[in-house]
């Protein structure tokens, strides 16, 4: 068990003023089997009115608009979360995991990934335990892909990243999800924060024998109590921390600062 | 009944329809072309007893479909009980995960359903497809009836004909029933949409405001409309004539310029009604069509009153076998296509086409359905002064408020090509008024 203090700050600067914008921010940790949201505080600059809601994946979302002209938009969330070293959640609602079984969005396997699936199937003949399968696939993926900052973009798909043989956490998660789904293991994308990293992180929750188990394919390990989950979805788009529509604005640059520390 | 007078007025009515802007636009080779929707003045006539049977069957079907949608976006009992395989839900392009656990006001998903039927030579009616997203077409028989009555009032003197000009009242009642408090608007993508005439006509007849996306905006979980004098008015119901994916760039296609950011979040909180509800595409998918009779049995414990065309799902081994053995007498449909596209008749394919198609079918069995070709009845139409028989279908409209209501009319579409079974207006067909008689 751990208490984690976190602060996530996102600042967007525009080369030309934005006349108005609408935004959806998914960055408030929801309670689940391995974390409890104790407190949080949000500030948005320029000051705007916003409301909270829950999306269809169970993520808490902040919805708002800035109707006045602005050239900077800043969002900060600070909070305290209690996390537990439990990584298995039983009693998964089978009616709600179907959407995580099928190829979708950035997790649609093409020829390259399917070729890898064929290779893996041959080696996995003896494996029956689903968790063992997940571990095996994660290991193989870790051997195959190289972590390289800046090698991919937000819009890169699992297939594209896999074909290039490199990527960042988002790509590892997308490829891993595509592989798991190809092996009929329901898997979803997790966006979150971890201790000691200056930006958001991504990992995967897979359904093994009726329970969600969280794997971090970028680090080739199961997750620990140093992880804070912010959102889940079929792929990264469903739980993007920030989504916006704006009028005007020209070029934009984004700065992200993120700190997660153990509290005690 | 004496039609002669009415038939003589055909040209005059078509001229008037053109003047009123009864057209639909189609995109062909990337250019927008507007064409007239030719009207044939010989009505399709449905007798009282026949209509009562259709009415009962259509209400039953739409009720079951509504239960299905409610179930799919919540508990999915019908999947758990093994009636519908989950592949047909999640692999359907109409299924939207964003609709999970979002209950539309009063639990109504399909407020306006356009159900396409044909009458076979065996005198049975068969359902061809359900249109539960943004079915269009009601305005055409409405305005045609109006013009016919004006052009040839004597034709209507001694006929026991159900008035069809109450569609606007029915629609208004349907929209008001789910209104969350505020104005009612009809949301159109704009002037260059295929059904723009209909959008403006229905707005005028129901007294709703006709708006485009740029006239609506969301603030603090409420949808507003900017009125012509610049004031900001709360909107309680949106009869939206744009498809799900373009409705809200914050929740669906981010590239959409015709949508309203956050409108879906307002809907999610129950502060506005969207008519029809997003996500309905999962129930009018050509693959799901096969399961509608099963839904009726499952949710209503009743036997279906109206028949489906005999349909096979190559997804099931047994059906695949049947399809391969009877390929030449079947029509094959790609479940992802609409508007008469993606439909092929086994007996019109060359040997090579057939072989290629079978390879595709075996690779993607979920993608196709196969149906027996229904030999449906011809209706008489006037073609350059001569009366000739042509294939025709019927789009019946079922509106759902406190209970389902079947409009006593409908859009009868016919093929102008004597060899074609495809009556879709985007493929150049015409339309007729549909007369329902009473006793």
**Residue B209, SS3?**
strand
Return the ∠ at Cα A136 (arms to A131 and A137), rounded to 5°: 100
Looking up tokens 């997308």, which residue turns up?
A174
Return the ∠ at Cα A236 (arms to A232 and A238), rounded to 5°: 60
Crossing angle of helices B10-20/B139-151, nearest 10°?
Answer: 130
According to CATH, the topology of domain B310-372 is Dna Ligase; domain 1 (3.30.1490)
How far is Cα B300 from Cα B15, in angstroms, rounded to an integer? Answer: 47
The continuous run of DSSP H or E covering A68 comes out as none
Pairing of strands B404-406, B386-400: antiparallel
Separation in Å, CA B378 to CA B87, B119, B126, B415: 38, 9, 14, 10
pLDDT for the residue numbered B423: 64
Centroid of chain to Cα B286: 13
- List CB contacts (< 8 A) between A24 and chain B: 250-251, 262, 265
Domain parsing of chain B, residue ranges? 4-288+376-436, 310-372
**Strands (DSSP E) along chain A, which ranges?**
2-28, 35-45, 50-54, 60-66, 70-83, 88-89, 146-147, 166-167, 187-194, 201-208, 211-216, 221-222, 227-233, 242-248, 252-262
- List CB contacts (< 8 A) between B74 and chain A: 95
Query: Taking CB atoms and an 8 Å limit, are B80 and A98 in contact across chains?
Result: no
Separation in Å, CA B224 to CA B184, B188, B253, B293: 11, 16, 21, 41
Summarize pLDDT for A246-256 with one digit per residue, the tens: 998 889 999 99
User: Is the CB of residue B270 less than 8 Å away from at least one CB of chain A?
Assistant: no
Report the residue from B90, B102, B262 with minimal CB separation from A56.
B102
User: Is the CB of residue B254 less than 8 Å away from at least one CB of chain A?
Assistant: yes
Summarize pLDDT for A100-112 with one digit per residue, the tens: 999 999 999 999 9
Summarize pLDDT for A48-58 with one digit per residue, the tens: 889 999 999 99
pLDDT for the residue numbered B27: 66
User: Is the CB of residue B86 less than 8 Å away from at least one CB of chain A?
Assistant: yes
- Mean confidence (pLDDT) of chain B: 92
pLDDT for the residue numbered B19: 87
**Residue B202, SS3?**
helix
Picking from B75-79, B201-205, B335-339, which range would have the lowest pLDDT averaged per residue?
B335-339
Separation in Å, CA B49 to CA B57, B63, B167, B262, B285: 13, 21, 21, 47, 31
Q: What is the DSSP letter of B161?
A: B
Q: Best interface-test mutation with B: which of A55, A189, A238, A239 has the largest number of B CBs within 10 A?
A: A55
Phi and psi, residue B430, nearest 5°: -120, -175
> Are residues B13 and B39 in contact, defined by beta-carbon separation less than 8 angstroms?
yes
User: Per-residue pLDDT averaged across B372-385, rounded?
Assistant: 89
Q: B37 pLDDT exceeds 90? A: no
Burial class (CB in 10 A: 0-12, 13-18, 19+), B383: middle
Buried b (16+ CB within 10 A) or exposed e, B89-111: bbbbebbbbbbbebebbeebbbb
Phi and psi, residue B45, nearest 5°: -115, 130
Report the residue from B79, B95, B261 with minimal CB separation from A22.
B261
pTM: 0.94
Looking up tokens 């995580």, which residue turns up?
A100
Summarize pLDDT for B385-395 with one digit per residue, the tens: 889 999 999 99
Cβ atoms within 10 Å of B59's Cβ, excluding its own: 17
Q: What is the DSSP letter of A49?
A: -
Summarize pLDDT for B144-153 with one digit per residue, the tens: 999 999 988 9
The continuous run of DSSP H or E covering B183 comes out as strand B183-187
Q: Which two tokens stand for residue A15?
A: 């080369």
pLDDT band at B340 (very low <50, low <70, confident <90, very high): low
How far is Cα B373 from Cα B53, in angstroms, rounded to an integer? Answer: 23
Q: A62 pLDDT exceeds 90? A: yes
User: Per-residue pLDDT averaged across B383-411, rounded?
Assistant: 95
pLDDT for the residue numbered B183: 97
Report the residue from B74, B76, B265 with minimal CB separation from A53.
B265
pLDDT for the residue numbered B228: 85
Cβ atoms within 10 Å of B125's Cβ, excluding its own: 20
- Mean confidence (pLDDT) of chain A: 94
Per-range mean pLDDT, top range of B1-5, B82-86, B91-95, B415-419: B82-86
Dump the DSSP string for B84-151: S-THHHHTSTT--GGGTT-PPGGG-S-SEEEEEEEEBTTS-EEEEEEE-SS---THHHHHHHHHHHHH
> Are residues A127 and A116 in contact, defined by beta-carbon separation less than 8 angstroms?
no
* Torsion sign, CA atoms A161, A166, A170, A171: positive
Plot region of B45 (φ>0 → left; ψ -120 to 50 → alpha; else → beta): beta
Beta-carbon-side half-sphere exposure of residue B360 (alpha carbons within 13 Å)? 12
List of residues 6+ apart from B19 with CB closer than 8 A: none
- List CB contacts (< 8 A) between A67 and chain B: 219
Q: B1 pLDDT exceeds 60? A: no
Q: A179 pLDDT exceeds 60? A: yes
User: Per-residue pLDDT averaged across A164-172, rounded?
Assistant: 97
**Residue A51, SS3?**
strand
- List CB contacts (< 8 A) between A22 and chain B: 218, 250, 261-262
How far is Cα A123 from Cα A118, in angstroms, rounded to an integer? Answer: 9
Buried b (16+ CB within 10 A) or exposed e, B397-426: bbbbbeebbbbbbbbbbbbbeeebbbbbbb
How far is Cα A186 from Cα B420, in angstroms, rounded to an integer? Answer: 45
pLDDT for the residue numbered A245: 92
Summarize pLDDT for B243-288 with one digit per residue, the tens: 999 999 999 998 888 899 999 999 999 999 999 999 999 999 889 9
Q: A195 pLDDT exceeds 70? A: yes
How far is Cα A206 from Cα A188, in angstroms, rounded to an integer? Answer: 6
Cβ atoms within 10 Å of A220's Cβ, excluding its own: 14
Domains of chain A as residue ranges with CATH: 2-84+242-262 (2.60.40.2250), 88-233 (3.10.620.30)
pLDDT band at B344 (very low <50, low <70, confident <90, very high): confident
pLDDT band at A64 (very low <50, low <70, confident <90, very high): very high
pLDDT for the residue numbered B305: 98
């Amino acid at each position: 068990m751990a208490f984690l203090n976190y602060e996530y700050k996102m600042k967007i600067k525009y080369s030309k003023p934005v006349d108005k914008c609408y935004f959806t921010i998914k960055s408030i940790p929801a309670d689940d089997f391995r974390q409890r949201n104790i407190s949080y505080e949000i500030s948005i600059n320029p000051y705007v009115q916003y409301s909270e809601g829950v999306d269809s994946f169970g993520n808490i979302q902040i919805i708002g608009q800035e109707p006045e002209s602005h050239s900077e938009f800043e969002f900060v969330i600070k909070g305290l979360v209690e996390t537990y070293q439990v990584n298995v959640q039983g009693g998964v609602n089978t009616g709600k995991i179907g959407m995580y079984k099928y190829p979708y969005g950035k997790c649609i396997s093409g020829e390259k990934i399917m070729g890898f699936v064929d290779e893996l199937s041959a080696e996995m003949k003896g494996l029956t335990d689903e968790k063992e399968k997940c571990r095996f696939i994660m290991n193989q993926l870790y051997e195959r892909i190289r972590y390289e900052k800046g090698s991919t973009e937000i819009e890169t798909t699992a297939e594209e990243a896999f074909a290039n043989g490199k990527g960042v956490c988002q790509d590892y998660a997308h490829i891993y999800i595509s592989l798991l789904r190809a092996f009929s293991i329901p898997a979803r994308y997790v966006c979150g924060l971890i201790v000691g990293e200056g930006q958001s992180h991504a990992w995967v929750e897979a359904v093994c024998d009726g329970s969600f188990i969280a794997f971090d394919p970028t680090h080739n390990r199961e997750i620990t109590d140093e992880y804070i989950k912010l959102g889940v979805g079929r792929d990264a788009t469903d739980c993007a921390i920030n989504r916006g529509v704006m009028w005007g604005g020209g070029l934009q640059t984004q700065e992200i600062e993120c700190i997660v520390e153990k509290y005690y | 009944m004496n039609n002669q007078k009415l038939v003589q007025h055909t040209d005059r009515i078509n001229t008037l329809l053109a003047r009123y802007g009864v057209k639909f636009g189609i995109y062909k080779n990337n250019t927008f072309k507007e064409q007239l929707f030719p009207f044939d003045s010989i009505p399709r006539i449905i007798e009282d007893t026949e209509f009562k049977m259709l009415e009962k069957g259509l209400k039953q079907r739409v009720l079951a479909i509504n239960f299905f949608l409610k179930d799919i976006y919540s508990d999915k009992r019908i999947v758990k009980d093994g009636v519908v395989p989950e592949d047909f839900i999640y692999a359907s392009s109409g299924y939207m995960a964003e609709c999970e656990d979002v209950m539309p006001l009063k639990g109504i998903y399909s407020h306006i359903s356009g159900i396409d039927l044909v009458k076979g030579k065996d005198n049975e009616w068969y359902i061809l497809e359900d249109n539960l997203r943004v079915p269009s077409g009601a305005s055409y028989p409405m305005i045609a009836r109006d013009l016919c009555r004006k052009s040839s009032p004597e034709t209507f003197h001694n006929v026991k004909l159900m008035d069809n000009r109450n569609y606007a009242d029915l629609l208004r009642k349907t929209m008001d029933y789910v209104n969350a408090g505020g104005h009612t608007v009809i949301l159109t993508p704009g002037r260059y949409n295929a059904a723009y005439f209909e959008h403006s006509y229905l707005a005028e007849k129901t007294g709703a405001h006709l708006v485009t996306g740029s006239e609506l905006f969301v603030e603090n979980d409420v949808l507003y409309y900017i009125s012509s004098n610049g004031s900001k008015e709360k909107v309680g119901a949106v009869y939206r004539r744009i498809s799900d994916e373009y409705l809200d760039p914050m929740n669906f296609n981010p590239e959409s310029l015709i949508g309203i950011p956050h409108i879906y979040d307002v809907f999610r909180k129950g502060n506005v009604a969207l008519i029809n509800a997003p996500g309905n595409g999962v129930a009018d998918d050509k693959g799901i069509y096969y399961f509608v009779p099963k839904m009726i049995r499952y949710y209503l414990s009743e036997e279906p009153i109206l028949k489906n065309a005999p349909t096979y799902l190559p997804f099931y081994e047994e059906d695949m076998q049947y399809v391969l053995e009877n390929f030449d007498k079947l029509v094959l449909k790609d479940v992802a296509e609409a508007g008469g596209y993606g439909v092929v008749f086994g007996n019109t394919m060359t040997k090579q086409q057939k072989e290629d198609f079978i390879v595709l079918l075996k690779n993607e069995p979920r993608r196709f359905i196969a149906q027996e070709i229904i030999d449906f009845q011809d209706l008489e139409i006037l073609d350059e002064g001569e009366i000739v028989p042509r294939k025709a279908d019927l789009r019946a409209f079922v509106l759902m408020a406190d209970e389902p209501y079947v409009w006593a009319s409908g859009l009868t579409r016919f093929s102008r090509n004597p060899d074609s079974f495809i009556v879709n207006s985007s493929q150049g067909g015409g339309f007729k008024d549909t007369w329902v008689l009473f006793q």
